[in-house]
Amino acid sequence: MARITALIITACLWATVQASQTQTEPKIEKQQFDGQRAMAHIAQQLVHGSREPANIQARQHTLNYIQQVLQPLSYSIRRQTFQAYGLQGTNIWASIKGESSDNKKDRRQIMLGAHWDSRSQADRDADPKLRNHPVMGANDGASGVAVLLEMARVLAAQPPAVTVDLVFFDLEDMGDIGKRPYSIGASQFIIRNPDYRPNAGVIVDMVCDKNLRIPRERHSQSRAPELMDRLWTIARQQRARGFIDRTGSFINDDHVPFLDAGINVVDLIQYPFPDYWHSTADSIDKCSAESLQQVGNVLSEFIATY
């Protein structure tokens, strides 16, 4: 009887200690992806206009901005400059080490990529007089970078098990201008980093439209179906209605050079393209924080569960 009483008293004491601990312990707030913050990153990239090759001021500003966001978050950052097709370009590669990086057998690595340049000619503009004007690229360029920069904050606050590389590609959008191809920066990245072999990668491009519609891009679906299934399963669980569960079109984007190199990288991209695509009307009023939030939530879960 005494023994039982003692046990009860001990149990009660233990419960009291537990209760007081939960009361006094500082509450650690889990950092979550914030679509509004991502919107602010879009606005910052547009301060000096299009990030086309001729707009040196805007390009310098955006490169510095990306670096200024990442540096205090203790990412290791590499700037890689290159010359190709008569242009000079710069890719930024930022990494945050995951807990699995210490474990040789179970080392996992994910790449998130976006292009930070914007197109030099609005060749789809309704007004022929504007077709030699540059594209502002709020959606086509800045939105993907914004997702990566906001993700950088979340990952730094609670480092995941996997190592995450955020790669900002230059010169994606000079395709068919002066007979240049698309994805010059992503192709140069592969040439310059031949040993780079992440387990998986996701490119985000044109992900802020108010009426977000991302089908399963066809190169990604046919060449990395398991990775696509993983993303669309998460999207379904989260009821992310911008993710459309049907196969879309073949789109040449920064994932293609990676797929060609045998690396599983897929593309999240709006399709059909919005009517302001490659026009002077690709401005921030077309974007919504809610769309960015959907993409950020899916990618957060993807990274956390990989």
Beta bridge partners of residue 88, listed in sequence order: 83
3-state secondary structure of 130: helix
CB of 100 to Zn ion, least distance (A): 35
Residue 43 CB neighbour total at 10 angstroms: 13
Residue list 213-252, contact with Zn ion (CB under 5 A)? none
d(CA 2, CA 4): 5
CB of 183 to Zn ion, least distance (A): 10
Pick the closer one to Zn ion by CB: 173 or 267.
173
Of the listed pieces 28-36, 139-147, 186-194, 286-294, which binds Zn ion according to CB under 5 A? 139-147
**CA of 209: how far to CAs of 10, 116, 144, 223, 292, in Å?**
59, 17, 11, 26, 8
Residue choice 52, 140, 267, 301 for contact with Zn ion (CB under 5 A): 140
CB of 258 to Zn ion, least distance (A): 18
Comparing CA positions, the residue from 169, 54, 69, 42 lying closest to residue 116 is: 169
Of the listed pieces 80-88, 108-116, 166-174, 186-194, which binds Zn ion according to CB under 5 A? 166-174
CB of 213 to Zn ion, least distance (A): 16
Pick the closer one to Zn ion by CB: 50 or 90.
50
Q: Is 117 in the site for Zn ion (CB under 5 A)?
A: no
Pick the closer one to Zn ion by CB: 253 or 301.
253
Question: Is residue 304 within 8 Å of 284, Cβ to Cβ?
Answer: no
Residue choice 52, 165, 170, 173 for contact with Zn ion (CB under 5 A): 173
Comparing CA positions, the residue from 258, 250, 259 lying closest to residue 223 is: 259
Beta bridge partners of residue 243, listed in sequence order: 214
Pick the closer one to Zn ion by CB: 170 or 173.
173
Two structure tokens written together for 95: 């990494």
- Interacting residues with Zn ion (CB under 5 A): 140, 173
